[in-house]
Amino acid sequence: MFINDFLYIIKWWSMFFAVGVIFLPLTWLIFKRFFGLGYALGKTLGVIILSYITFLLSIFSVAKFSLANLYLYILVSLGINLYILYKNKNEVIKDLKNNIPEIFIQELLFTSGLLLWSYVRAHQPEIRGLEKFMDYGFVTSALRSEILPPTDMWAAGNTINYYWFGHFVTAVLTKLSNIPSEITYNLMLATIMGLTLSSAFSISATLFKHISKNGIKKHFFIAGIISAIILTFAGNFHTPFYVLKNGSENYWYPDATRFIGYNPETEDKTIHEFPMYSFVVADLHGHLLNLPFVLLFVASSFVIVSQRKRGSFDNLNLILPGSLLGIMFMTSTWDFGNYTLALGYILLFSELQKNNFRLLKTAWDVGKTIIYILALGIIVALPFILKFESIAEGIRFVHTRTPIWQIAILWGFPALLTAIFIYTAKKLGKKNSTSDIFILSLLAASWTLIILPEIIFLKDIYIASHYRANTMFKLTYQAFVMSYLAGGYIIVRHITLQKDFYVKRFLSLFWVIVLFSILSYARISTNSYYGKLQNYVGLDGAKWMQTQYLDEYNIINWLKENAEKGDVLLEAPGDSYTDYNVISSYTGIPTISGWYVHEWLWRGTPDFPQERVNDITNIYEGSDVILTKSLLDKYKVKFIIVGNFERERFKMLNELKFSQLASPVFQTGMTTVYKVNNEV
């Protein structure tokens, strides 16, 4: 088992290594002034380009989403990168030779993250619980869809009306690697950890390097490592506060993300998650899939301000961040707004400094640049937007707010970083570098995103005590990302500016204690969820069904072998977060209706799933054969499942009539798969 998993990991790693190498010339062209040439960012850049080309050609029905076409896109990309290499051969080779140790460190960080989280996930790899059925269903639906958008596995006849591009990227990598999707689901989680570690390291080390080309490399390295580790593994002050108060044995790790409204209990329940929690619970959501894209955007934003030509921004440097805004719209739509805001601060603060605080000129320069970048983003996302119906219902003012003491616990670490950095910036005065201004911009964006849910919220289907939960979740997640990414730079900058030896030692000890306190979350949460890593199961996310739902497991495997493109199956619809609709989720074959509240959210009304549930009830329980046949035809159903979930959901199940409408084609245990007859 372990050997098979390791071989999968090697194959997966080799694919990413190859993508990074293929796109190395383009990466060098964009990030050649970065620490280690921005090598870590090349993997994300290459994956995005290959995925977007596939997406664009497929959504316009120009070319199918197929392995053969993926190979073709790789060949074209290779040709373009070889041309870049040919035009800049001497400079590229020289830079590569001079940056071998830095490149090795970034590859080591990526590989370490991939190996570490693959090993951890192998102790509880189940694609089950929370919203994993949804996430996995998006991936399997994409894999079955030759033309995009992917079919909605829980609303036959419709496409997914949610942000799904990150799941499509997972499907692209699954198809390219030829590894089963139940394995790549877990490998993708580990990959995001590896990309987060290596990309955060590259960005933070670069920011420190930019202060002085003659700086001490050790400082670049330490700044990068601190940012990489705390962004990936740290929590907030909730963990040390309540561990000291109640003891670690009484600490429940989700409480760090469900604090406001829960302790004490109030009618204002919110969500404030962060990357380590996401890695632990292992839902492959859009905000987690977007994390490497976010870091690439931050890096490309620094390129804009650090390579600004006299009098104006270089339009070529605006193409990547503008395109990435479009990618983010399709992957995690909230982040389109979050990082437009962040870029606005970055450009504003940078221009204010360069224009000697002339407001009108700054407003003009920043305004036209933002419009240009936004236009690029919208153009990139337009094929997605044209096939997407917004589910938001407008902006409203909040009627509850977070107590200051709870904000202090959740955001105490960013507050400490901010206070220290403002003190440092004031001390530097006019000596503040481009990197200092960039960090200040990230902090300003972070605090704006923290404050906004205390003023406004985006109305959706979540009401009553959870009305601002989603807004706070999506905004403060990125506030965490930006402020913790800035952490390594701020800490090392603070310490290295001190001249007194003992002050440096004291500050070093102080920061070690602070970092240790927030990093304790990683150990506590991992041990709690994964049972202290005592039971190695393997990377197969579907294996759990062999002991708990063997019938469904056998049906899934049978359908994978026998179902054709365009087929529709019928299974019992279930409530969200349950084990219902496992077959449609694991195969990507659409059913008439799946998780009720999720379809309500995606379609903007409960009427949509309710009508379908009523029809399904008639099919399973009704005695009218003609009506049943008409309903099966209405949704073009080919396979009817009659098993454990169906008998549980429909107490008056009328299986006998199916013998007049369909033929049994697969039997396993107490479950039968019927194939609907073409003529009755």
H helical segments located in 234-273: 238-246
Does 223 score more than 90 pLDDT?
A: yes
The mean pLDDT of 79-104, rounded to a whole number, is 96
Helices and strands per DSSP (H, E), number in the chain: 30, 6
Q: What CA–CA distance (Å, rounded) separates 69 from 220? A: 41
Q: What is the sign of the dihedral through the CA atoms of 147, 152, 156 and 159?
A: negative
pLDDT at 659: 87
Q: What is the pLDDT of residues 335-349, one digit of tens each?
A: 999 999 999 999 999
pLDDT at 315: 76
Q: Given pLDDT bands bounded at 50, 70 and 90, which one contains residue 357?
A: low
Q: Return the SS3 of 446.
A: helix
Does 300 score more than 90 pLDDT?
A: yes
Q: Is residue 475 a contact partner of residue 453, using CB atoms and an 8 Å limit?
A: yes
Percent with pLDDT over 90 in the chain: 88
Give pairs for 434-438: CB < 8 Å, separation 24+. Answer: 434/210, 434/305, 434/306, 434/350, 435/207, 435/208, 435/210, 435/211, 435/306, 435/489, 436/211, 436/493, 437/305, 437/349, 437/350, 437/353, 438/207, 438/301, 438/302, 438/305, 438/306, 438/346, 438/349, 438/350
Query: The whole model's pTM is what?
Result: 0.96
Does 428 score more than 90 pLDDT?
A: no
The mean pLDDT of 600-611, rounded to a whole number, is 92
449 vs 531, higher pLDDT: 449
Q: Which residues contact 73 (CB under 8 A, 6 or more apart)?
A: 50, 53, 54
Task: For the beta carbon of residue 308, count every other beta carbon within 10 angstroms.
Answer: 18
- Range of lowest pLDDT (138-142, 299-303, 368-372, 473-477): 368-372
1 vs 272, higher pLDDT: 272
Tokens of 93: 């080779």
Q: Given pLDDT bands bounded at 50, 70 and 90, which one contains residue 309?
A: low
The DSSP symbol for 262 reads: B
In angstroms, what is the C-alpha Rg of the chain? Answer: 26
Q: Return the SS3 of 525.
A: helix
Q: Given pLDDT bands bounded at 50, 70 and 90, which one contains residue 6?
A: very high
Does 520 score more than 70 pLDDT?
A: yes
pLDDT at 366: 87
> What is the C-alpha end-to-end distance of the chain, expressed in Å?
48
Q: Which residues contact 15 (CB under 8 A, 6 or more apart)?
A: 173, 176, 177
Does 432 score more than 90 pLDDT?
A: no
Q: What is the pLDDT of residues 174-215, one digit of tens each?
A: 999 999 999 999 999 999 999 999 999 999 999 999 987 677
Does 311 score more than 60 pLDDT?
A: no
| Angle at alpha carbon of residue 191, lines to 188 and 197, rounded to 5° | 150
Comparing C-alpha atoms, which of 291, 235, 245 is closest to residue 411? Answer: 235
Q: Which residues contact 253 (CB under 8 A, 6 or more apart)?
A: 239, 277, 280, 521, 524, 525, 528, 529
Burial of 288-303, coded b for 16+ CB within 10 Å and e otherwise, reads bbbbbbbbbbbbbbbb
Angle between helices 181-211 and 434-451 (to 10 degrees): 130
Angle between helices 607-621 and 625-634 (to 10 degrees): 140
Does 609 score more than 90 pLDDT?
A: yes
CATH of 546-676, one of 3.40.1710, 2.70.220, 3.40.50, 3.40.1340: 3.40.50
Q: What CA–CA distance (Å, rounded) separates 182 from 103? A: 32
| DSSP collapsed to 3 states, 277-342 | HHHHHCCCCHHHHCHHHHHHHHHHHHHHHHCCECCECCHHHHHHHHHHHHHHHHHCCHHHHHHHHH
Query: What rounded mean pLDDT belongs to the chain?
Result: 94
pLDDT at 431: 79
Q: What is the pLDDT of residues 490-500, one digit of tens each?
A: 999 999 999 99
Q: How far is CA 608 from CA 37, 158, 595, in A?
A: 51, 11, 12
Q: What is the sign of the dihedral through the CA atoms of 135, 186, 471 and 150?
A: negative
Does 613 score more than 90 pLDDT?
A: yes
Q: Given pLDDT bands bounded at 50, 70 and 90, which one contains residue 253?
A: very high
Percent with pLDDT over 70 in the chain: 98
Q: Is residue 73 a contact partner of residue 54, using CB atoms and an 8 Å limit?
A: yes
pLDDT at 312: 60
Angle between helices 315-331 and 334-354 (to 10 degrees): 160
Q: What CA–CA distance (Å, rounded) separates 141 from 138? A: 5
- How do strand 456-458 and strand 639-642 relate by DSSP bridges? unpaired
Q: What CA–CA distance (Å, rounded) separates 584 from 563? A: 12
pLDDT at 46: 98
Does 512 score more than 80 pLDDT?
A: yes
Q: What CA–CA distance (Å, rounded) separates 377 from 442? A: 20
pLDDT at 162: 94
Does 310 score more than 80 pLDDT?
A: no
Q: Which of 213-217, 247-251, 582-586 has the highest mean pLDDT?
A: 582-586
Tokens of 516: 């240790």
Q: What is the pLDDT of residues 314-340, one digit of tens each?
A: 778 899 999 999 999 999 999 999 999
Q: Is residue 305 a contact partner of residue 297, using CB atoms and an 8 Å limit?
A: no
Q: How far is CA 240 from CA 17, 213, 261, 409, in A?
A: 38, 38, 20, 10
> % helix / strand / coil in the chain, to the nearest 5?
70, 5, 25
Does 668 score more than 90 pLDDT?
A: yes
Q: Is residue 450 a contact partner of residue 476, using CB atoms and an 8 Å limit?
A: yes
Q: What CA–CA distance (Å, rounded) separates 2 from 465? A: 46
Q: Given pLDDT bands bounded at 50, 70 and 90, which one contains residue 360?
A: confident
Q: What is the pLDDT of residues 629-667, one digit of tens each?
A: 999 999 999 999 999 999 999 999 999 999 899 999 999
The residue whose two tokens read 């205390």 is 454
pLDDT at 163: 94
The mean pLDDT of 136-143, rounded to a whole number, is 98
Q: Given pLDDT bands bounded at 50, 70 and 90, which one contains residue 364?
A: confident
